[in-house]
Structure 1
Amino acid sequence: MIYLDNAATTRVSESVRAAMVPFLEGQYGNPSSIHQVGRQARQAVDSARRRIAAWLGCSPRDIIFTSGGTEADASALTGAYLARRETKRHIITSAVEHHAVLHTLDFLQSIGAEVTVLPVDQDGRVRVDDVVSALREDTCVVSIMAVNNEIGTVEPIAEIVQAIKAVNPSVLVHSDMVQALPVVAHPLTQWPVDMATFSAHKIHGPKGIGVLYLRKDIPWRPMLYGGQQEARRRGGTENVAGIVGFGAAVDAITTNFEGRVSHLQHLHQLFFDAITKRCRVVRISPPDAAPTILSVAFPGVRNDTLLMRLDLAGVAASAGSACTAGSLQPSHVIEAIGQTEHLNEAVRFSFSDDLTDDDILQAADIVCSTVEALLP
Structure 2
Amino acid sequence: MIYLDNAATTRTAPEVVEAMLPYFSEYYGNAGSIYGLGSQSKKAVINARKTIAETLGAQPNEIYFTAGGTESDNWAIKAVYESCQDRGRHIITTKIEHHAVLHTCKYLEGRGARITYLDVDENGLVNLEQMERAIRPDTILISVMYANNEIGTIEPIGPIGEIAKEHGVLFHTDAVQAYGHLPIAVEQMHIDFLSASGHKFNGPKGVGFLYVNSKTRLGSFIHGGQQERGRRAGTENMPGIVGIAVAAERAAAYMDEHAAVESRMRDYLIHCIEGKIPGARLTGHRTMRLPGHVSFCFEGIQGESALIMLDMQGICASSGSACTTGDPGPSHVLLAAGVPEELARGSIRLTLSEENTMEELDMVVESLAGIVEKLRLLR
TM-score, structure 1 length as denominator? Answer: 0.96
Partner of 1:178: 176
Alpha carbons 1:321, 1:328 under 8 Å: kept: no
Shift, 1:89, TM fit? 0.6
Measure, in 2, the Cα distance between the counterparts of 1:79 and 1:272: 41
SS at 1:229 equivalent = coil
Contact in 2 for aligned 1:181/1:187 (Cα 8 Å): no
Matched, 1:266 2:267: no
What is the DSSP-based 3-state SS (H/G/I as helix, E as strand, rest coil) of the residue aligned with 2:171? strand
C-alpha distance in 2, partners of 1:155/1:124?
8
Question: CA 1:29 to 1:174, structure 2 compared with 1: closer, same or farther past 3 Å?
Answer: same
d(CA) in 2 for partners of 1:104 and 1:174? 13
Paired residues of 1:95 and 1:118 also in contact (CA < 8 A)? yes
* Residue identity matched to 1:149: N
Give the match for residue 75 of structure 2: 75
CA distance in 2, matches of 1:72, 1:276: 37
Counterpart for residue 240 of structure 1: 238
Supply the AA of the counterpart residue of 1:344. R
* 177-186 or 302-311, larger mean C-alpha shift: 177-186
SS at match of 2:182: coil
**Are residues 1:354 and 2:355 paired?**
yes
Partner of 2:282: 283
**Which consecutive unaligned segments of at least 5 residues does structure 2 have?**
none
Cα distance in 2 for partners of 1:366, 1:104 equals: 39
Read off the aligned partner of 2:154 and give its amino acid letter: V
Q: Distance in 1 between matches of 2:15 and 2:66?
A: 22
RMSD of aligned alpha carbons:
1.4
Total equivalences in the alignment: 374
1:45-64 equivalent positions in 2, closer than 5 A: 45-64=45-64
The answer as to whether partners of 2:180 and 2:252 remain within 8 angstroms in 1 is no
1:315 is matched with 315
Match of 1:228 among 215, 226, 229: 226
Tell me the CA shift for residue 364 of structure 1.
Answer: 2.0
> For 1:173-227, what per-residue CA distance to the aligned partner results, in whole angstroms no more than 9, with x for missing partners?
1000111113212342552211110111110101110110100131221111111
- Cα deviation, 1:1-44, whole Å, max 9, x if unaligned, reads 21111111101111111111111122111111111110111111
Higher alpha-carbon deviation: 266-275 or 210-219: 266-275
SS in 1 for 2:196: strand
Residue of structure 2 equivalent to 1:39: 39
Is 1:139 the counterpart of 2:139? The answer is yes
SS class of match (1:61): helix
Greater shift after overlay, 363-372 or 105-114?
A: 363-372
1:252 matched residue in structure 2: 250
Partner of 1:198 in structure 2?
196
Aligned-pair CA distance for 1:357: 2.0
Q: Which amino acid aligns with 2:248?
A: V
2 CA distance for matches of 1:221 and 1:124?
32
Larger deviation, residues 113-122 vs 349-358 = 349-358
**Matched residue of 1:140: which SS?**
strand
Using the TM superposition, name which of 4-13 and 345-354 deviates more.
345-354
**Given residue 316 of structure 2, which amino acid in structure 1 is its aligned partner?**
A
1:299, CA displacement in angstroms?
A: 1.2
Asked if the contact 1:145/1:155 (under 8 Å) is kept, the reply is yes
Contact 1:322/1:328 (8 A) holds in 2: no
- 1:215 is aligned to 213
1:96 aligns with 2:96: yes
What TM-score, normalized by structure 2, do the two folds share?
A: 0.95
Q: Distance in 1 between matches of 2:314 and 2:24?
A: 33
SS of aligned partner of 1:255:
helix
Aligned residue in 1 for 2:294: 294
The amino acid of 2:285's aligned partner reads P
Could you tell me how far apart the structure 2 residues matched to 1:290 and 1:210 are?
20
- State the one-letter code of the partner of 1:260: H
Give the Cα–Cα distance (whole angstroms) in 2 for the partners of residues 59 and 248 of structure 1: 18
Q: Is the 8 A contact 1:320 1:329 kept in 2?
A: no
Q: Distance in 2 between matches of 1:66 and 1:235?
A: 10
Partner of 2:154: 154
Q: Give the Cα–Cα distance (whole angstroms) in 1 for the partners of residues 32 and 262 of structure 2.
A: 40
Aligned to 2:338: 338
Structure 1 pair 80–336 and aligned structure 2 pair: CA distance change class (3 A) = same
The farther-off stretch of 267-276 and 307-316 is: 267-276
Contact kept, 8 Å, 1:320 with 1:334, in 2: the verdict is: no
Deviation for aligned residue 1:327: 4.3
Give, in whole Å, the separation in 1 of the partners of 2:122 and 2:58: 33
- After TM superposition, the structure 1 stretch with the greater mean CA deviation from structure 2, 12-21 or 280-289, is 280-289
Write the letter of the residue equivalent to 1:360: L
